Structure 1
Amino acid sequence: MKRTFISLVIILLSQFTIAQEYVPTKENLEARQWFQEAKFGLFIHWGVYSQLGDGEWVMNNQNIPIDAYEKLPSFFNPIAYDAEEWVKMAKDAGMKYITITSRHHDGFSMFDSQVTDYNIVKKTPYGKDVLKQLAEACRKADIKLFFYYSLLDWHNDDYFPRGRTGTEIDGRKEGTWEKYIAFMKAQLTELLTNYGDIAGIWFDGHWDQKEWDGKKFGKLKVDWHYDEIYKLIHELQPQCLIGNNHHIAPISGEDFQMFEKDLPGHNTTGWGTSASDVGQLPMEVCETINNSWGFNIQDRKHKSEKELIQLMVKSAGYGSNLLLNVGPMPNGEIQPEHKESLKNMGEWMRANGETIYGTSQGPVSPNEEMASTRKGKTVYLHLFNDKKELYFLENFDVPFRDIKLYNKNKKVTHKVNEYGLFLEIEKEDRDEVDTIVEITLK
């Protein structure tokens, strides 16, 4: 009798768990498919912090008191902001979507929120909703729009208990966690009600409420109410994709998985996502053009065209998108160096985008020498080292019928043996950024 009772409890619990699992709608699955094929997006980190020219974490890094930081909006006046110009820049770069910060960790809302006066419309001389302008420009250009939304907040008293960051900021008070959750729900409702169709919500800050011993994250200190928040989003806009930069395996209700400054499963940062936590959802790698997300006037470490293109190819080689960031200046203009980088990316994508857009992970995993993508019966092999003549694809046992240079009617000399596939690339055929070989499968 006792065993029967325990078995019944297990069955009921299993049914309850299954009932609680998120089941994506048809619209959502279609949006996931679109996202997986889009491959390239623009990340924009922009807020009142840009005026200090020291990145988006300046409030925390310089321990700026609340009352001092609250002065920033009073002289934030981005008169050079042109949403249509931003969207054209992204489209010309070959990007299919834009993700922009609606509210970052400093707690300042870059949209016309009715649940707080601490926003761009009510607190700045600019007085206009930059997200509204961007949403309209995106619609005109057929570019999809995602909103970044910070879970943590160094300004809101109700973000309490405090997390690991912002602990030295003067003027922070105690509040009520449940009120903070209600505040976030209200703002997310605004973002998903007042700006037309939104392609996705990009959450960040989960890790702030995790214990940290200096080497690894520990247990979570709070309940983020993801079940309620994710349900709200999907009810308001079923196609809206949810991603969370929490550096752990995907949680039920999420639609894509992102990897910050790392290729999927690599975790070179030490605080990223381990290989065991890579899920089955569409993926996105986010990276900066220099070393900063928000505008940093001292950051001169701009990645070269070669580095950016090879990052694009390696991301696609994992079946992932690349979300490449710019940090606009306080006047609303994009740094000239970043515009030039995006222009160069666009030229390369126009010539070679067929090997990236709509592809899946190829049979050769990305490494420093090469990466591969696949579309139907075609494998695109991207070779990075232009000094090499011979390339070896170990254990390449995929039956093929033809190997040639991409976009050239020229066969590639090759040899197959028990060890794999050998390719010989003549000097005049090598590209210093990326030599592309097209392999047609049987």
Structure 2
Amino acid sequence: MKKIMAAAIAATLTAGIPASASTPDSYVPSPEIVTAQQEFADNGFGIFLHWGIYSLFGQGEWYLNYGASAEEYAKSAKAFYPADFNAAEWVKAFKDAGAKYITFTTRHHDGFSMFATRQSDYNIVDATPFKRDILKELADECEKQGLKLHLYYSHIDWTRPDYPSGRTGLKTGRDTTLRDWPSYYKFMNNQLTELLTNYGKIGAIWFDGKWDHDQDSTAFDWQLPEQYALIHRLQPGTLIANNHHETPYPGEDFQIFERDLPGQNEHGLSGQDVSQLPLETCATMNGMWGYKIMDQNYKSVPELIELLVNARGKGANLLLNIGPQPNGELPAAALDRLKGMGEWLRANGETVYGVRAADFPAQSWGTATRKGDKLYLHVFRPEGNEITVPTALKIKSAKEFATKSTLKHSRLKEGGVKITLPEIPQGTIDYIIELETK
């Protein structure tokens, strides 16, 4: 197996495009990627899972970065025994919530691998008493229950001496003057080869951490083209995305926005231009990505539904995060929100799945999604008994989505369409209007 992996990596690296030679036009997606991009854009909703030994501390996934000793932190692996983890129950909860894929953190910045890897014994099978390959169990359940599996992989490692230190993880006790990029790059590519060889069909590789060297980005070369070529060679239909907060690089197949919708930048991480690639916004259900015991400030079901719809209104998927508990359970508050979202999506999924952005931006009353000749208006804040829709499309009919009751509409001289609203029942999360266009 090791010889096979080494040969695959060597062949790909020698055939890879040199970083200095890559241009925005140098990557041509394969037919498999084009098909996968279409399916990804149709999916609309995914679940992000930040889970690792950091959950034991209940302080979020960056706990090691804030002054903890990497040596002492690593000892916690011997206490990591998620006895209540049940892959079938997790995947069923995500599927019932209406999610079409999950993105699982295989290795975060703390360097601990949540899968069976032969590249380091610092992993869930070799370093914990649990001894089970959680990723394999999740992969099998995703295949069984029909959810796509995407894999998060960190470009950073706050524990390995060969990782060239950037601007984070400088207080872990590791000698930050040590660096061996060829060794670390080989380690990463070996792990990626394992992930794309041993866990079935992988929908996407979701990279994070390039920003660790944004202050020396002109001098530091991540050798992304070669790494991307390796992934596309091992699984030609696996999409690649990188959470670097920049314009997409050659070889990347969809664009990520962190905590903000495309075109917004309230959190300071998403000022980049919006590309023509499929889009995804990742967001937390409460305030933290990894489990934090004090963070019970969960968004309500109506808030999460509006977030999902607003993402779809901008043509993006919503990747909604959950930080599982150290015992392997999903937080009860998260399960409650998932249940509510699932109930709403079973009734209104037609307006969310397989849709694209409308021909106009979000309005004060809400947003819209489009599917073929159907335009779905999502009214969250009705303005009196009518709304104005700034569309240039000709409207054939207007109906209440839930009941198919006809609504009165008229073209305005100054442009757009006016729609008269009925009395909307109290407690309506999202009043949806279906417009049939000519």
TM-score in terms of structure 2 length = 0.92
SS in structure 2 opposite 1:438?
strand
Amino acid at match of 1:204: D
Equivalence for 2:307:
311
SS of aligned partner of 2:198: coil
Matched, 1:56 2:52: no
Identical pairs, percent: 45
| Separation in 2, partners of 1:195, 1:230 | 18
In structure 1, the partner of 2:8 is none
Range with bigger deviation, 299-308 or 405-414: 405-414
- CA deviations on 1:394-422 (whole Å, 9 max, x unpaired) are 3x221111011103131222232222222
Distance 2:423 2:383 in 1: 8
Q: Which structure 1 residue ranges, 4+ long, deviate > 6 Å from structure 2?
A: none
**Aligned ranges 1:396-435 → 2 under 5 Å:** 396-419=391-414, 420-428=416-424, 432-435=428-431
Aligned partner of 2:336 in structure 1 is: 340
Is residue 313–residue 362 contact of structure 2 (8 Å, CA) maintained in 1?
Answer: yes
- Tell me the distance in 1 between the aligned counterparts of 2:410 and 2:202: 50
Gaps of 5+ in 2: 1-20
Secondary structure of the residue that 1:263 maps to in structure 2? Answer: coil
Q: Distance in 1 between matches of 2:32 and 2:56?
A: 40
Question: Following the alignment from structure 1 to structure 2, what is the Cα–Cα distance between the partners of residues 424 and 192?
Answer: 53
Residue of structure 1 equivalent to 2:16: none
Deviation track 1:280-339 (CA, whole Å, cap 9, x = no partner) reads 111111111101110010002110111100001000001111111100000100000000
Call closer, same or farther: CA 1:66–1:264 in 2, change over 3 Å.
same
Tell me the alpha carbon deviations over residues 322-364 of structure 1, each in whole angstroms, 9 at most, x when there is no partner.
Answer: 1111000001000000000000000000000000100111123
Does structure 1 conserve the Cα–Cα contact (< 8 Å) formed by 2:33 and 2:239? yes
Deviation of 1:431 after TM superposition, in Å, equals: 5.6
Which residue pairs with 2:267 in the alignment? 269
Alignment counterpart, residue 203 of structure 1, candidates 183, 200, 207 = 207
Q: Which residue of 2 aligns with 1:10?
A: none
Measured after TM superposition, the shift of residue 279 of structure 1 is: 0.8
Two-structure CA RMSD over aligned residues (Å):
1.6
Counterpart contact for 1:204–1:244, Cα < 8 Å? yes
For 2:405 and 2:425, locate their aligned partners in 1 and report how far apart those are by CA, in whole Å: 10
1:164 aligns with 2:167: yes
- 1:386, CA displacement in angstroms? 4.6
Residue 12 of structure 1: aligned partner: none
Check whether the contact 1:155–1:172 (CA below 8 A) recurs between aligned residues: no
1:70 CA displacement: 1.0
CA–CA separation in structure 2 for the residues paired with 1:323 and 1:261: 10
Map of 1:440 onto structure 2: 436
Gap regions ≥5 residues in structure 1: 1-15, 212-217
1:388 & 1:240 partners in 2: Cα distance?
Answer: 48
Q: Which amino acid aligns with 1:240?
A: T
Q: After TM superposition, list the pairs within 5 Å mapping 1:68-217 onto structure 2.
A: 68-160=72-164, 162-173=165-176, 174-211=178-215
Structure 1 CA distance, aligned partners of 2:78 and 2:110? 15
The offset of 1:150, in angstroms, is 0.4
Of stretches 45-54 and 404-413 in structure 1, the one that deviates more from structure 2 is 404-413
Equivalent-residue separation in structure 1 for 2:410 and 2:395 (angstroms): 12
Q: What do the CA deviations read for 1:16-50 (whole angstroms, capped 9, x no partner)?
A: 76798122211111111100100011100000000
The code of the aligned residue for 2:97 comes to A
Question: Residue type matched to 2:130 in 1?
Answer: Y
Q: Give the 3-state SS of the residue equivalent to 2:399 in structure 1.
A: strand
- Give me the whole-angstrom Cα distance separating, in 1, the residues matched to 2:154 and 2:279: 20
Query: Tell me, what secondary structure is at the counterpart of 1:70?
Result: helix
Within 2, Cα distance between the matches of 1:20 and 1:345?
Answer: 39
Post-superposition offset of 1:170:
1.6
Structure 2: distance between partners of 1:207 and 1:219: 8
Q: Is residue 154–residue 172 contact of structure 1 (8 Å, CA) maintained in 2? A: no
Check if 1:65 corresponds to 2:69.
yes
TM-score (normalizing by structure 1): 0.91
3-state SS, counterpart of residue 126 of structure 2: helix
Contact between 1:210 and 1:221, CA under 8 Å: does it hold in 2? no
Aligned twin of 1:247: 245
Distance 1:19 1:380 in 2: 34
Segment of structure 1 superposing worse, 65-74 or 100-109: 65-74
